[in-house]
Structure 1
Amino acid sequence: MEEVKRLIDDIRNGKILPVYFLMGDEGYYIDRIAEFIGTNVLTEEEKGFNQMVLYGKDVSVDDIVSNAKRFPMMAERQVIIVKEAQHLSRTIEQLAPYVENPQPSTVLVICYKYKKLDKRKKLHKVLKAPNGLVFESKKLYENQVSEWIRK
């Protein structure tokens, strides 16, 4: 919960990273963070040309990278949100070279629900660098629910 607040505060204050990898068993926070980025990084006028929502079932990692390498049109940034990225689990590791050298004007948000990235792989290691952020949304246990509701 605190990590989510800190992440949202950073985005509000203009500390926006090129890559956000949102993963874990609890889909609620993954959806809320992706929605917040999609709503607040670009103005309404900029969204028409510079915001794109892709779905893991319909695209490949190469499609994601080629879209992420484009330059924004009449804006400072472009936002690409990849929903249902867990369908790319066999090829998601091919994203590592892009994360090592991301397009500074692109904000890439990957929603990898109900699965976790293998922490031993290269992609997880390069996401820890200043180029990206890994957010793991852990499942709430029954004894944590009352505290979560109070907050």
Structure 2
Amino acid sequence: MKMDELFANIKQNNFDNIYLVLGKEDYIQDKVVKAFVQCIPEEERAMNIGQYDMESNFISDALNDAVSAPFFGERKLIIIKHPVFLTTESKKSKLDQNIDDLINYVANPEPTTIFLVIAPYEKLDERKKISKQLLKSATLIESGYVSDEDTLKEVKRLIAEKGCTITKNAYELLKIRTEGKMSLLLNEISKLTLLANETKKITEEMVNRMVTQTLEQNIFDLGNLVLTDKITEAIEMYNDLILQHEEPLKINAILIGQIRLLLQVQILQSHGYVQGNIASVLKVHPYRVKLALQSCKKYRQDFLSLKYLGLVKLEEQMKSSQKDARKLFQLFMLGFFSRK
């Protein structure tokens, strides 16, 4: 179900019994939750809204709440968060959840309860019975990524509310620093508008000062140095990351993922796929695909493959030998692990 259709149904008090919100965009998840909360009268919310985090609550408690009658109201809202048992990561859960009871509930939901499952994952493990049952029975709302056009519109609206504007370069840097994710981007707006209180203009320098780079973004810069064979600069940056107590295997895994994405994008593009299709197929943020499309024009596929295989061999050496990671990375940059 599309968001517009969902909000129209909520406005008309037209509800299904079970909803599954699937995807990693917090901004959309929050909008959906707020919309459902608003459909419960304010004076009833304390008794008729239950929120259960599956990392700290048992599903049985949520189900007991779901099957009980609304307290002096028409309906109840039960919100399930972080249902890790729907994914391949369920073995990491600290709680032993009674999934059979949930399967039974999904098959026979309480008619006076809106059962809302927030699954902040790219996809579910469809081999599991509960995942199959949910996808079959629930109304699916995909909290995919917000388009560039809608993101810009929302950012400008929020900034304008504070009487401010943002320069084009500042907005582009903000998108890079937040990886184009609406929820992260909006979190930074309040800080930036506060900083621009006097000038009323958010500049690139302000974004650079206030919005820090993540580890992934630092490694993105490292990856660019690797791909352009800037040996000295790459080694210096790698050593700096190690001094900041970043794990060598984690750095390497992100580098591998970065180059793998370039290869995947390059291959799909050669088969006629465009940005939106590529993002959908690879299940990654469209902004990452946009950056990858810009980058992969610079490199031949065999060159990227060689770098990718070199990083895989580097990882094997890190895991199997006692050699210092910095020394191994130097050997990689010198082409040692890229030799056929």
Higher Rg? 2
Which residue pairs with 2:113 in the alignment?
106
Does residue 137 (structure 1) correspond to residue 143 (structure 2)? The answer is yes
Please tell me whether the aligned partners of residues 68 and 108 of structure 1 are also in contact (alpha carbons under 8 angstroms).
Answer: yes
Query: 133, 139, 147: which one pairs with 1:126?
Result: 133
TM-score w.r.t. structure 2 length? 0.38
User: What RMSD in Å do the two structures reach over aligned CA positions?
Assistant: 2.6
| Larger helix share, 1 or 2 | 2
CA 1:9–1:115: 2 relative to 1, 3 Å: same
Structure having greater relative contact order (Cα 8 Å, sep ≥ 6) = 1
Please tell me whether the aligned partners of residues 20 and 109 of structure 1 are also in contact (alpha carbons under 8 angstroms).
Answer: yes
Does residue 48 (structure 1) correspond to residue 23 (structure 2)? The answer is no
Give the Cα separation in 1 of the matches to 2:18 and 2:85.
19
Give the Cα separation in 1 of the matches to 2:131 and 2:66.
19
Deviations 1:9-68 (A, max 9, x none): 1111121111111111222211210111012x2111111211122222221222221111
Which residue pairs with 2:70 in the alignment?
72
Residue segments in structure 2 that go unaligned for 5+ positions in a row: 91-96, 155-340
Q: More displaced, 131-140 or 108-117?
A: 131-140
Displacement of 1:77 in angstroms is 0.5
Give the Cα separation in 1 of the matches to 2:111 and 2:79.
16
Displacement of 1:147 in angstroms is 5.3
Give the Cα separation in 2 of the matches to 1:124 and 1:133.
13
The percentage of aligned residue pairs carrying the same residue is 26
Which residue pairs with 1:7 in the alignment?
6
Q: More displaced, 118-127 or 93-102?
A: 118-127
TM-score w.r.t. structure 1 length? 0.80
Give the Cα separation in 2 of the matches to 1:60 and 1:88.
14
Residue segments in structure 1 that go unaligned for 5+ positions in a row: none
The runs of at least 4 consecutive aligned structure 1 residues that moved more than 4 Å come to none
Give the Cα separation in 1 of the matches to 2:61 and 2:30.
22
Secondary structure of 1:111's partner? strand
